[in-house]
């Protein structure tokens, strides 16, 4: 399978973030790699200058609040 582009990974990434938990960059990459069945060689290829992807920080990504949109007044 070819390496997915940015737009292709957006929905699975948002679904992962919607579980209310914090996730490290590594966890997100592993989940997306599993979703798209990327090989270790493809993951290695993604870290080449050709893709110019900066290294992922090893910090947690904050969870999306369950009720992040305020209610509309009647």
CA distance 59 to 42: 24
Q: Name the band, by pLDDT with cuts 50, 70 and 90, for residue 70.
A: low
71 in any annotated domain: no
**Structural contact between residues 34 and 1, judged by C-beta atoms closer than 8 angstroms:** no
Q: In whole angstroms, give the CA distance from residue 23 to residue 52.
A: 23
pLDDT in tens, 25-67: 888 888 888 888 888 888 777 666 555 455 666 666 666 666 6
| Phi, psi torsion values for 24, nearest 5 degrees | -80, 165
Structural domain contains residue 61: no
Domain count along the chain: 1
Q: Would you say 26 and 58 are in contact if contact means Cβ atoms under 8 Å apart?
A: yes
Residue 14 domain-assigned?
A: yes
Q: What is the mean pLDDT of residues 5-34?
A: 85
Residue 36 falls inside a structural domain: yes
Whether 72 is in a domain gets the answer: no
**What pLDDT shows up at residue 60?**
61
């Amino acid at each position: 399978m070819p390496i997915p582009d940015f737009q292709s990974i957006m929905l699975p990434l948002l679904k992962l973030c919607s579980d209310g938990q914090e996730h490290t960059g590594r966890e997100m990459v592993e989940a997306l790699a599993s979703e798209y069945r990327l090989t270790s060689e493809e993951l290695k290829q993604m870290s080449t200058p050709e893709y110019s992807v900066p290294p992922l920080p090893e910090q947690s990504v904050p969870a999306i609040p369950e009720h992040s949109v305020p209610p509309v007044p009647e």
